[in-house]
Amino acid sequence: MTPSEVAAAIRQHSPGALPESVTIEDHYGIPAVHAYGVYLRSDIAEAVLIAAMVQDACLARWPGGDWVGNQKAFNDADHGGSLGAAYAAWRWARGIA
């Protein structure tokens, strides 16, 4: 998944989890966060997406803050890096096939 595809999936399945003022765009061949006319590096783009998915997944999986329940580990090495692992975990928490 590219950062742009992840951003689109977040917006599709969890409207409001990623602020509309933040977009993930191709900036000279590198994914970058674009917000208020400023481009930020690709690692920052991934960090923004991961933070949005972690917060949204926690709210989806444990809406009352109760951390007891089914838990699952998602390793970076199994999912192509930290963005892929966070995306897989977010999909699992949201119940997205």
- Taking the domains of the chain in order of start, what are their residue ranges? 3-94
The pLDDT value recorded for residue 68 is: 54
pLDDT tens digit string along 42-87? 788 888 899 999 888 887 776 655 555 566 778 788 888 898 999 9
Total-model pTM: 0.77
d(C-alpha 63, C-alpha 97), whole Å: 20
DSSP one-letter code for 44? H
Starting at the earlier edge strand, list the strands of the sheet with 38-40. 22-27, 30-35, 38-40
Phi, psi (deg, nearest 5) at residue 37 = 80, 10
Count of CB atoms within 10 A of residue 47's CB?
A: 16
d(C-alpha 11, C-alpha 19), whole Å: 9
